[in-house]
Amino acid sequence: MDKFVIRGGNPLVGTVRISGAKNTALPCMAAALLTEETVVLENIPDVRDLQTMRRLLVEMGGEVELGYGRAHHRTTICTRSLNRPEAPYELVKTMRASTLVLGPLVARMGRARVSLPGGCAIGARPIDLHIKALERLGANIAQEHGYVEARAERLRGGHIVWDRISVTGTEELMMAATLAEGETVMENCAREPEVGDLASLLHRMGARIEGAGTGTIRIQGVPRLHAARHRIIPDRIEAGTFVIAGAMTGGDLIVANCEPAHIGALLQKLAEVGASLQVGQDTVRVIGNGGLKAADVNTEEYPGFPTDMQAQYMALATQAEGTSIITENIFENRFMHAQEMVRMGANIKIEGRRAIVRGKAPLSGAAVLASDLRASASLVLAALVAEGETIIDRVYHIDRGYERIEEKLRGVGAQMKRIGEMLPKKVALAPTS
């Protein structure tokens, strides 16, 4: 298991380029299951979750080809000869988003078998709402031996009102409804940019969708979808993480190749805490002037402040003067990073869904443990301003969603190294007689 060693104290200066969005690439790869023809996706980030999705498609009988050299971020998928419409537990347990294939598989193949995801480090995360919504489209669903089995000769359009906003739920059902008979209307949908980008791919494949990116989506089912080529949008959470890194380290950082409109709530908050920002068409320049002041944050569905930026914001709040109250409204257990930051010297108290962060606290390097993807990113941020060396263990979490983060950070001045697990000390063998 790799670790990161980070020596804090360097301001980040220079330009960092943002990769494609993991959370858009995942449903777009699943969307390739909706057609026998070839789907070409550009700007796919080289992160572990997408390797998992690739493995899943291949195990089901799909052909997945990766680009080389300059086309390194291109993935070409053809699922003509799918023979095993199943997402096994081994893959679902490493990446819950594997369940995204359920809707597309039942829509195209008439059947699907997908392992139920268990709990995870950030909360319970059930998929009960996805299942209920698929039933509204006529799927017969049974659950046994830890698997969901769905069957339908052909899905038919229906009216779905989401009890609670779900990003992958909206995506999965939007995909399923593209091949259903008749019209599907979904209300209380997720409005995240990832949903809009998936809809753009589906349009290119011949789907008829209106309203993606708003609370109400209408889909007219079509008998089949066809080949398409699509470029994935930039990763707003990676962009946001780097903007915070620039602000915290007192640097002068240009976050390039991003979509500033997708991180509006974060940029507004950063302006409030006193970071100096220059927003261009696809860049954000952040000049950290050191004088950050506390501000409260409530996580909400898009366009509110994203839960996926909460941990990173907490790292920043430890360096702001005053008390910041951070309220996590999306997941019930997403404060695992707080205790690790406390071990580095932060003053954070957790009260249910609220974290009370008192700053500015001098941080000092320590050995810390990453518990999930965004928690790991927040520990990297804390380490960048800590005095001395921080060792972050279990960085496989960060590799799930950040492409070569250590190279990107080193490129703008961070002192950071990845190390493989040390081998145990060589033990002298006892002489044999």
Residues that bind ligand EPU (CB under 6 A): 23, 26, 97, 123-130, 164, 166-169, 190, 194, 307-308, 330-331, 373-374, 401
Residue with smaller CB distance to ligand EPU, 128 or 407: 128
Q: Which two tokens stand for residue 168?
A: 């992958």
Residue with smaller CB distance to ligand EPU, 170 or 184: 170
Tell me the closest approach of the beta carbon of residue 9 to ligand EPU, in angstroms: 28
Tell me the closest approach of the beta carbon of residue 10 to ligand EPU, in angstroms: 26
Tell me the closest approach of the beta carbon of residue 129 to ligand EPU, in angstroms: 3
Contacts of 145 (CB under 8 A, 6+ apart): none
Q: Locate tokens 């699943």: which residue?
A: 30
Residue with smaller CB distance to ligand EPU, 104 or 401: 401
Tell me the closest approach of the beta carbon of residue 378 to ligand EPU, in angstroms: 11
**H or E element, residue 210:** strand 208-210
258 is catalytic: no
Residue with smaller CB distance to ligand EPU, 167 or 320: 167
E strand map for 272-352: 276-279, 283-287, 297-298, 322-327, 347-351
> Dihedral of CA 215/219/225/226: which sign?
negative
Q: Which of 28, 78, 120, 189 is catalytic?
A: 120
Residue with smaller CB distance to ligand EPU, 102 or 209: 102
Sheet holding 86-87: strands in order across? Answer: 86-87, 111-115, 147-151, 140-144
Helices (H) and strands (E) in the chain, counts: 14, 24
Residue with smaller CB distance to ligand EPU, 374 or 408: 374
Do residues 283 and 256 make contact, with C-beta atoms less than 8 angstroms apart?
A: yes
Residue 220 has a CB neighbour count (10 Å cut-off) of 15
Tell me the closest approach of the beta carbon of residue 74 to ligand EPU, in angstroms: 21
Q: Which two tokens stand for residue 414?
A: 């961070």
Do residues 38 and 227 make contact, with C-beta atoms less than 8 angstroms apart?
A: yes
Tell me the closest approach of the beta carbon of residue 385 to ligand EPU, in angstroms: 22
Q: How far is CA 260 from the centre of its chain?
A: 17
CA distances (Å), origin 168, targets 125, 131, 172, 173, 192: 11, 12, 6, 8, 10
Residues involved in catalysis: 120
